[in-house]
Structure 1
C-alpha cells in the first residue's frame, strides 16, 4: 500500500523521478548551509512556498509533516536569542541570559534556515513513493541492490510497527497490566515491540533470501527508472532558487559565511 495519496502521485511533482527530487532538495539544502543570514533563508523559503501548489498537498498533510521540524526550529531560535552572539543594543540581561540585536537576528536566521531546508525536502519526499525511490537509486545512482531493497523493506514495515504498538497496548490493557505505572508500562511495551520487530525482520530476511533477493547475479527491474525533461527542469528550478537566495543575500550585504561566525 502506498504511503502517498493518488492525487499527490498524479501531481506535477509526484510524476517526476525520485533522483531528480533528491538532487533538487540537496541543491537547496547545501547552498543554505553555506551562510547563516535571514535574507537567503527567507528568499529560499518564499520561493519554495510559491511552488507548493504543484505538489497538491493539503494544508493538513503538510502541517502534520512539518510541525515537529517547526517546533524544533522554534526551540533552537529561542535558545539562540537568549545565548547567542551579542552585538548592537542589549534589550535584556540576566546572568548568562542576554538578548541583543545580534542574538535576535541570528535566532531569526536559524529559524528561517531550518524551515527553508526542511520544507522542500518534506514536500519532495511526500510526493515520492518509496518503491520509486528505490528503483531510481538502484538503476540511476547504481547503489547496491541488496542495500536498496533491504532499506525499502524496512521502510515498508514502519506502518506495521505502528499497528503492532497499538495492538500491544490494547492487549496489555485487556489483561489489566496497563492501568498503573506509565514509565514501567512504556519500557515493557517497548521491549515487547523490539522483540516482535526482530522476529518479523528475521522472517522477512528469510523470505527475501528464498525469493532470490540475496543473489549476486545482476537483477532485472520490473519498472525502469528514467530521467525526462521535467526532471531536468526541477533541478534547474532548484538551482535558480539557490542562486536567487545567494544573490539577494550578497546584494543586501547580509551574507554571513559559516566560517566567518
Structure 2
C-alpha cells in the first residue's frame, strides 16, 4: 500500500499539460474544485468528468499511475459514500429499523463518490505534470498581491512545496523501515486493531527521527547557500503564458459555462 501512494510525485514529460504554465494549471484546479461541487445534475457532472478524462489523456501519463493515487483513499471514498447513502429524499428502497435508503440517498452516494474521485484525479494531473520548482514559483506569483498585507508569500509557497515534495520521500522511508522491522521478526499484520496499532510504534519512532534529521539537513543546506527568503532573489526560470494556456483557459471556461447553464436550467437531482 505504501508503494502505491503517488501523492507529490512528478513525472517529467513533454505532453501538452506538461508544457502549460504552472499558474494556469493551479488556477484551473481551484476552478475545477469549485464547479465539481456546483454540479448537481447528470449533464453537469458528465461535463466535469469529461474535463478530468481530457486532462488525464493530454498529460501523457499512464492510467495505472492515476489508479495508484486512488488506492490510498479508496476506503475514505467508500466510507463517505456509504454514510451519504442514508441521506436523501424520494421513494423508500430499503429499510432496516431506523435506517432508510431512499432514491435520493443512492443518487447522493454516487455523486459524492464521483466528486471525490474526480478531485483526486484532477489534483494528481497537477502534481504529476508540474515540478516542485515550478509549483513554488507559480504559488508565489499567484499570492503576490498578499504582500500588500505584509504576508510572507515566498516563505509560505516554499513551505507548501517542500511539504509536498517530501511526501514521496517519507513514504519511501516508511517502506524501508517496515521492511527492516519485518526482517527482524516484527509481526504487523496479525492480531486485533490494538495490537496492530502497537506494532506501528517501532515504525513511527524511527520515522520521526529520520524526518527531523532530514529537516535539519535541509535547513543547514539552505543556510550554507545563504538563503534569506524571497527578498532580492531572481528566478532561474521565468514563467510565460503561451497560446496553449489560452486554449486551455478557453476550453475550461466553456465547460464551466456549460455546467452553470445545466445547473440553472435543469432540475437538481438532490
- The normalised TM-score by structure 2 is 0.80
The answer to whether 1:164 aligns with 2:170 is no
CA distance in 2, matches of 1:215, 1:20: 25
- Aligned 1:39-58 pairs, distance under 5 A: 39-58=43-62
Give the Cα separation in 2 of the matches to 1:206 and 1:250: 55
Shift of residue 63 of structure 1? 1.0
1:194 is aligned to: 208
Which residue does 2:191 correspond to in 1?
A: none
- Aligned pairs for 1:13-92 (under 5 A) are 13-34=17-38, 36-69=40-73, 71-81=75-85, 83-87=86-90, 89-92=91-94
Equivalent of 1:178 in 157, 169, 186: 186
How far is 1:71 from its partner?
A: 4.8
Question: Relative to 1, partners in 2 of residues 1:213 and 1:124: Cα closer, same or farther, differing over 3 Å?
Answer: same
Q: Is the 8 A contact 2:89 2:105 kept in 1?
A: yes
Compared CA separation, residues 34 and 156, structure 1 to 2 (3 A): closer
Give 3-state SS (helix, strand or coil) of 1:213's partner: coil
User: Is contact 1:138-1:144 (8 Å) kept?
Assistant: yes
Q: TM-score, normalised by structure 1?
A: 0.82
Task: Provide structure 2 residue ranges, at least 5 long, that are not aligned to the other structure.
Answer: 1-7, 145-151, 189-194
- Asked if the contact 1:38/1:109 (under 8 Å) is kept, the reply is no
Residue number in structure 2 paired with 1:253: 267
For 2:165 and 2:55, locate their aligned partners in 1 and report how far apart those are by CA, in whole Å.
29
How much has 1:93 moved relative to structure 2? 0.9
Task: Return the offset for 1:197.
Answer: 0.8
SS state at 1:93 partner: strand
Report the Cα distance in structure 2 between the residues aligned to 1:219 and 1:154, rounded to whole angstroms: 21
Deviation at 1:11, TM superposition (A): 0.3
Query: Aligned to 2:234, what secondary structure does the other structure show?
Result: coil
Displacement after TM superposition at 1:160 (Å): 3.0
**Pairs within 5 Å for 1:5-20:** 5-6=11-12, 9-20=13-24
5+ residue gaps, structure 1, are: 257-261
Q: How far did residue 80 of structure 1 move?
A: 1.7
Is 12-21 or 98-107 further displaced after alignment? 98-107
- Number of residue-to-residue matches in the alignment: 250
Report if the CA contact (8 A) 2:178-2:203 is conserved.
Answer: yes
2:234 to 212, 217, 220: 220
Residue 105 of structure 1 aligns to a residue whose secondary structure is helix
**3-state SS of paired residue (1:73):** helix
Whether contact under 8 Å (1:21, 1:235) holds in the other structure is no
Contact 2:41–2:267 (8 Å) recurs in 1: no
What is the CA–CA distance in structure 2 between the aligned matches of 1:216 and 1:133, rounded to whole Å? 15
Question: Which whole-Å deviations, capped at 9, do the CAs of 1:171-193 have from their partners, x for residues lacking one?
Answer: 4445x362576533311220221
User: Partners of 2:111 and 2:142 in 1: how far apart?
Assistant: 36
